[in-house]
Amino acid sequence: MIEIKNLSVRLGDFSLNDINLTILDREYFVLLGPTGAGKTILVECIAGLCRFRKGKLWIDENDVTPLPPEERQIGYVPQDYCLFPFLNVLNNIIFGMKEKRVEKDKMRQQVETLAPLLGISHLLNRDVRTLSGGEKQRVALARALAVSPRILLLDEPLSSIDVRTAKCLRQELRRLHEELGMTTIHVTHNLGEAGELADRIAVLNMGKLEQVGTPEEVFFYPQSETVSDFLGTAGFPRRVRGTNLTIY
């Protein structure tokens, strides 16, 4: 379980303000909001890549606030994937394991498990610069999963992929989550993506946590004008509480 308590951080003119959030074990949790809402900053705080001036972060009842990223057992896939262009697919996947000095036999076992799971066995010797967007996403996922993280962070993983590929990869992400049984935190501004994948959703806007709930609670019963406006701009159907009326 992840517990975020009174987290605040300022970066230039932007700030996250008093974020309190609990994410359950094995939950597929989506951070939803418009561009500039603070979603990426929040996942970077969880990953240990962004220091915050106030608050605490607990993972499995352990205070990890002072720990560096490599000691948090977190796998992170940033928005641009950050694959190493000077390494082929195989060496990208095993990079984190080599840094942790994992034995060669275990590295091989991890690759033999993850490559077919993600459908990239035929790509292992490829130059990453020749890969499609969907292939890069799978390789980035394999690299993040290879170090056996307790938590997987995905920052807008489908934003640069065509609609058809993104639809397939949404199904892939949900299947992986269920098979591997790890806690997943997924950043997106896409309502359909959030509704299809999330067990629960947190809506962020301008550094403030607006609402947390199941997709049905968030989409049908927005608790603030900000959430309602954000959902309404995409024409998402919203049910008026206490009636059978649906507003589009």
What's the pLDDT score for residue 171? 85
Under a CB-based contact definition with an 8 Å cutoff, are residues 226 and 233 in contact? no
pLDDT of 17 > 60? The answer is: yes
Percentage of the residues of the chain whose pLDDT score is greater than 70: 94
241 CB contacts (<8 Å, ≥6 apart)?
221
Instruction: Give 246 or 190, the one with higher predicted confidence.
Output: 190
pLDDT of 112 > 70? The answer is: yes
What's the pLDDT score for residue 170? 86
Cα 141 to Cα 164: distance, rounded to the nearest angstrom: 19
What's the pLDDT score for residue 159? 80
What's the pLDDT score for residue 54? 93
Which H/E stretch holds residue 98? helix 89-99
What own/partner pairs with CB < 8 Å and gap ≥ 24 does 174-178 have? 174/28, 176/117, 176/118, 176/141, 176/145, 177/28, 177/152
pLDDT of 97 > 90? The answer is: yes
Mean pLDDT of the chain: 89
Closest CA to 199 of 11, 66, 32, 47: 32
pLDDT in tens, 52-70: 889 999 999 999 999 999 8
pLDDT in tens, 23-40: 999 999 999 999 999 999
What's the pLDDT score for residue 95? 94
Closest CA to 149 of 185, 118, 190: 185
Sign of CA dihedral 180, 198, 28, 30: positive
Output the six-digit token pair for 87: 């390494």
Confidence of residue 243 (pLDDT cuts 50, 70, 90): very low
